[in-house]
Structure 1
Amino acid sequence: MGDNVLAELTEEELWRRYRKTHDPDIRDALIKQYAPLVKYVAGKVAIGMPHNVEFDDLVGYGVFGLFDAIEKFDPDKHVKFKTYAVTRIRGAIFDELRSIDWVPRSIRQKAREIEDAVRRLEASLGRSASDREIAQSLGMTVREFEKLMLKISGTSMLSLNDVWYTGDDNDKVSIADSIESPQSLNPDTIVEKDEIRQVIIRFINELPEKEKKVLVLYYYEDLTLKEIGQILEVTESRVSQLHTKAIMRLRGKLTNIRKGIV
């Protein structure tokens, strides 16, 4: 199919024709149109990654997610392709990061230890634990705890994209997928059918205020850690700590649900 003919088709017509024909020319046109989306998602992921993770590599991993999204997207389901593709692209990036095992084993172990400590402590307290309480439970000072949180910040980006519920292929739910606008964080307004998605959003709503703000500003408002720091009047490293703690609290609560503690 010629470029002139493709240019005259609306986006909806392109999708419907591709669904019927799987025309490689249409596929190439869709890839070209949505390629900037891969760089956008890779850029968001790169912010929380250590320096040894290259942006270009993240883009390369994300391209496979775009291919996958184009092949599986169903225009009849009334979901915007951009929304659908972002989840697929991000998932492909994190799947590849997991497969190459980029997080040092010692850091992963420390992250698990802190997450377990937070989970047990908050289940016992019935509320969010303070830095001091978490540090004491780990037998370290608050300063040592803060330094450790910075070291494991990369693992929280991975944790955020762990799948927590799987129905069919399109029903995977991660914490990242469940972070909504501030207006949607009120559990009374939730209309999602997925129970686990409702639970995740309720837990986000229960986070300490600054941690909740970091998640909303970063994942919904698309602000950088530096910009969030300026809004909250804290350093960029403090924002990274807040982000990591928020994810650990969410994972801990979800683990407690699985174990029947909550």
Structure 2
Amino acid sequence: MNEMIAQYLPLVHQVINRVAKGLPAHVSREDLISMGTIGLIGAVERFEPEKGIKFETFATWRIRGAVLDGLREMDWMPRQVRQWAKEIERAFAAVEAQKVNSATDEEVASCLGISIEEFHKRMSQISAGTVFSLEDALHAADEEQGIHDIIPDPKAEDPSSHVTRQELKSILEQAVSRLPEKEKLVVALYYYEELTIKEIAEIMEVSSARVSQLHTKAICRLRGGLSRRRQDFK
């Protein structure tokens, strides 16, 4: 067991390098490594090769989940910003439950009873202060299953061969397909190409802050929609 942990410690650092990019400077890297190492140990203890999932995929999921859990316990995000994020998720869910296309900023702002300027202000503060992700959205629902086991890879020839829960796959396919094109592109580049926010910004020819906002908005949409189907995760 110790040998396996030592072998995969670089994976902890790899996950930390990605997560740390969106964190305030006061969050200690040593703390993140400790959280990630706990996740790696859990992965080694709970890995079941007979399920047909690669250990690297399973471990990455457990490491990232442990780090996100640790950050939530630290509660470093201002309470008001956290509340705004929840309200915006619910607003996206409410608006998009009644229409085929994605909700516009104006529609969500109207649902919240705030101006479009205030909506953009809140989204900027959320994107600057949060690290929630697709993994975070799904971690509480199914800690045995990672994002690459659920979300369809747009480049894969046969996505169903990598999925064990067809109903959940269908739900998430629909949710991702409804994302506006720019948000969908950010999700694909970030989660499947594993590019950094800076690299995506260069490709899209926009600022890193803009990419971060698009990512945050995409996750708000998906988390809002998935929260309405939480029973499908159990």
TM-score (norm 2): 0.85
Q: 1:250 aligned to 216, 222, 225, which one? A: 222
Instruction: Give the structure 1 partner of residue 39 of structure 2.
Output: 65
Answering whether residue 93 of structure 2 is matched by residue 123 of structure 1, we say no
Q: Secondary structure at the match of 1:62?
A: helix
Amino acid at match of 1:161: D
Residues of 1 paired with 2:213 and 2:149: CA distance? 21
Matched ranges for 1:130-149 at <5 A: 130-149=104-123
Is 1:193–2:168 an aligned residue pair?
Answer: no
Which consecutive unaligned segments of at least 5 residues does structure 1 have? 1-26
Larger gyration radius, structure 1 or structure 2: 1
Moved over 6 A (4+): none
Displacement of 1:32: 1.9
Contact 1:156 1:247 in 2 (8 A): no
Which region of structure 1 is more displaced relative to structure 2, 56-65 or 122-131?
122-131
Are the equivalent residues in 1 in contact too, given 2:92–2:225 (CA < 8 A)? no
Question: Counterparts of 1:194-213 in structure 2 under 5 Å?
Answer: 194=165, 195-213=167-185
- Aligned residue pairs total 228
The CA deviation at 1:156 is: 5.5
**Match of 2:136?**
161
Q: Out of 238-247 and 151-160, give the one that drifted further.
A: 151-160
Tell me: CA distance 1:257–1:178, structure 2 relative to 1, closer, same or farther (3 Å).
same
**Cα distance in 1 for residues equivalent to 2:149 and 2:215:** 16
Pick the aligned partner of 1:102 from 76, 97, 121. 76
Q: RMSD of aligned C-alpha atoms? A: 2.6
In 1, Cα distance between equivalents of 2:203 and 2:141: 34
Higher relative contact order (CA 8 A, sep 6+): 2
Q: What is the percentage of aligned positions where both structures have the same residue? A: 46
1:159 to 1:74, Cα distance in 2 relative to 1, 3 A:
closer
Pairwise CA distance, 1:180: 4.3
Q: In structure 2, list runs of 5 or more residues that go unmatched.
A: none
